[in-house]
Amino acid sequence: MQEISESGVDRVEQQDLAGKTAIITGANSGIGLEAAKVLAGRGARIIMAVRSQEKGEGARSEILRLHSRSLVEVMQLDVADLESVRFFSEHFRSRFDSLDLLINNAGVMMPPYTKTKDGFELQFGGNHLGHFALAGLLLPLLEGTPGSRIVTIGSLAHNRGAIDFGNLDGSKGYKAKKFYNQSKLANMLFAMELDKRLKANGYQTISVACHPGVSATNIFKFGKRDAPAFLKSYANRFLQPPEMGALATVYAATMPHLTGGEYIGPDGKGNRKGFPALELPHPSALDRAAAEKLWSVSEKLTGIVFPFDK
């Protein structure tokens, strides 16, 4: 895999991140790993919040080969397990008194019908509910850190999503693509609603959404099995490479002119490839009634209540 070219990096202003701490979920591969490489290279302390400690350590070594003096560590987190989310949050808060960036990146795409330990459909539980809970638990640290932000990785798939509140667990029927689209719309609704609530309650932390375009990452799997070699070859040839897809994450995480509520993605045809630019989300992501209902349901399902009055 090639590193981001100098011309690619130059298209995203290179802020000095020395002294800042960033948590990146799912940072052991794909978009998360590529974003971690860039942020570590700019001086940020990277917490790789990953399900597999072994894979995380391998990814950490890869970053250190590029940036030998960077501060990178691996902490175990399974966002599809609320007990793991709570343990990670408690462990992090016991060690750190500030948090500049929370990047909600981890995700699963179109697995066979699976439920999490908490009884949630895997994509809704891992892609959305786990990150909702993580943000709520870490918000006090974020709010106590000037200039902090929460970045949530969405997808073009949110354009085709709809929240089926009567069948969130898939027990009344499951189609993998439909539920993936639903989970990515949930990411978008959460990111946008979170920023509204942060502002309404006088918080300085901001929430920004982004997407990598159509990127050739290891999310292209069939359940736990790798995609066939021909599909990987197609992806690597025609789709946005992970190191380019990660630029939208870096942009959303670092650009100083962002004020919250933005949606960042590639600037090419159909927003599938290219350099990061400001985009407009699908109108479904701006449905306030759906966002408020999703928020209420998410608090009930996770047991995590954000300290907001409005």
Domain layout of the chain by residue ranges? 6-302
What is the Cα–Cα distance from 281 to 195, expressed in whole angstroms?
Answer: 14
* Global confidence as pTM: 0.90
For the chain, how many helices (H) and strands (E)? 10, 10
The set of residues, in sequence order, having a beta carbon less than 8 Å from that of 14 and lying 6+ positions away, is: 42
In this prediction, residue 5 carries a pLDDT of 37
Are 209 and 150 in contact by the 8 Å Cβ rule? The answer is no
- Residues in the chain with pLDDT values less than 70: 1-13, 215-239, 310
Assigned fold of 6-302: Rossmann fold (3.40.50)
Read off φ and ψ for residue 266, nearest 5 degrees: -65, 150
In this prediction, residue 62 carries a pLDDT of 97
Q: Which of 113, 174, 180, 234 is catalytic?
A: 180
SS3 234: helix
Clarify whether 234 is annotated catalytic.
Answer: no
In this prediction, residue 310 carries a pLDDT of 65
In this prediction, residue 272 carries a pLDDT of 74
Q: Encode pLDDT of 90-131 as tens digits.
A: 999 999 999 999 999 999 999 999 999 999 999 999 999 999
